[in-house]
Structure formats: structure tokens, C-alpha cells
């Protein structure tokens, strides 16, 4: 058995419970109850204690907290904006994309908004999905589809699809921002009620 395994067992619940029961067996021996069979009693009580001890609980995975996740999303957003700067889009879609990226940048900006967002794991997930998946997928799909449309014209304009996708993503980001604003408003109202109750 490796040293780490041995140390782990010595600190385990099984060993601690078994040792406590073994000490009880020694106490019985000194009280004259166990008689000449005291080694069997001590070992038996140790084994029984080890068997009834609750199982060890493995440690929880060390996932990054929402603040650390936001830092990662922020870095990915920087990479996304670099990618978008190299993509040529029609004026209408480019305008919608600018509105969306400005809103995402405001939500990711370090400060009190990010602090409120860090308390909302679902919001962090929504923002992460937009940055890492939805926006790049929408733009990349447009670029590829536009090339095929030039070869086979007559299909529905890929620009329309892109504009609609960016509009939907912007609406989703607006809902996220509105939810954060409501959270802060509720916090302010709660503080007002607290002060009112305290002054009575």
C-alpha cells in the first residue's frame, strides 16, 4: 500500500470509527468483561466499527466559479471580435451585429454589472453560448451560404437569415440585461423595506 493510501486510510471514517470501537473493547477489557479473549473482542469491535462507518464521500469536482467563467468568456469575446473584424457583412447585418456586440461587451465589462451577472449561472451560460457558439455560427454559416448562393441564385437571401438570427440574439441579450436590471431593482426595494422596518 502506498504511503498516500496508508495516510488516507488512517484518516478515513472507517479507521476512525473502528478505532473508537476498538478503544471501547479495551475499556471492556480493563473492566474485566472481555476476559482472556480480549484481543478477539478488540479486533472484532474494530472490524464491526469499520463496517458500520459511513462511506467516504468523494470530493466535489473543482469547477470554476461564475466569476472565473466570466473571465474566460471575456477572453473568448476578444477572440470573437478579432474574427468578426475580418468578416465582410452587408450594411444591415453589420449594423445589427454591431448593436449585438456592443450589448455583449457592456454585459461582460468588469464592474458591478459583471458582479450581478456572476450571481446568475443561467445568465453566464446564456452569454457564454452567444459568444462561443451562436454569433460565430451565424456569421460563419452566412459566409459559407453566401458563396453557394452565388453559384445557385434564386434561393432565399442568406442576408435575411443572418439579420433575423442577429435580431433574435440581440433580443435574448436584452432579456438578460432586463433580468439583471430587475434583480438590482428588487435588491433596492428590499433595502428600502429593511430600512422602513428598522425605523418603526
- Whether 127 and 107 have beta carbons less than 8 Å apart is answered as yes
Residues 177, 119: Cα–Cα separation, whole Å: 13
As a dihedral over the C-alpha atoms of residue 90, residue 95, residue 100, residue 104, rounded to 10 degrees, the angle is 110
Each residue of 77-104: pLDDT tens digit?
Answer: 999 999 999 999 999 999 999 999 999 9
Under DSSP, the state recorded for 155 is: S
Each residue of 101-143: pLDDT tens digit?
Answer: 999 999 998 887 778 888 888 888 999 999 999 999 999 999 8
- Whether 61 and 116 have beta carbons less than 8 Å apart is answered as no
Query: How many C-alpha atoms does 180 have within 13 Å on its Cβ side?
Result: 24
What confidence score (pLDDT) does residue 70 get?
85
What confidence score (pLDDT) does residue 3 get?
65
Q: What is the pTM of this model?
A: 0.64
66: Cα separation from own chain's centroid:
6
Amino acid at each position: 500500500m502506498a504511503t498516500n493510501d496508508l495516510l488516507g486510510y488512517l484518516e478515513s471514517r472507517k479507521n476512525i470509527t473502528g478505532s473508537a470501537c476498538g478503544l471501547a473493547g479495551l475499556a471492556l477489557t480493563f473492566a474485566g468483561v472481555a476476559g482472556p479473549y480480549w484481543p478477539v473482542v478488540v479486533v472484532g469491535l474494530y472490524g464491526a466499527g469499520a463496517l458500520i462507518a459511513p462511506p467516504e464521500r468523494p470530493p466535489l469536482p473543482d469547477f470554476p466559479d461564475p466569476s472565473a467563467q466570466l473571465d474566460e468568456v471575456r477572453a473568448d469575446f476578444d477572440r470573437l471580435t478579432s474574427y468578426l473584424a475580418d468578416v465582410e457583412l452587408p450594411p444591415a447585418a453589420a449594423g445589427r451585429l454591431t448593436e449585438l456586440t456592443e450589448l455583449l461587451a457592456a454585459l461582460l465589462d468588469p464592474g458591478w454589472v459583471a458582479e450581478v451577472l456572476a450571481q446568475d449561472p443561467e445568465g453566464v451560460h446564456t452569454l457564454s453560448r452567444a459568444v462561443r457558439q451562436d454569433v460565430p455560427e451565424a456569421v460563419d454559416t452566412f459566409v459559407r451560404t453566401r458563396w453557394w448562393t452565388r453559384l445557385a441564385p434564386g434561393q432565399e437571401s442568406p442576408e435575411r437569415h443572418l439579420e433575423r438570427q442577429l435580431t433574435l440574439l440581440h433580443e435574448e441579450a436584452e432579456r438578460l440585461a432586463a433580468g439583471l436590471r430587475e434583480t438590482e431593482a428588487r435588491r433596492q426595494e428590499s433595502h428600502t423595506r429593511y430600512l422602513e422596518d428598522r425605523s418603526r
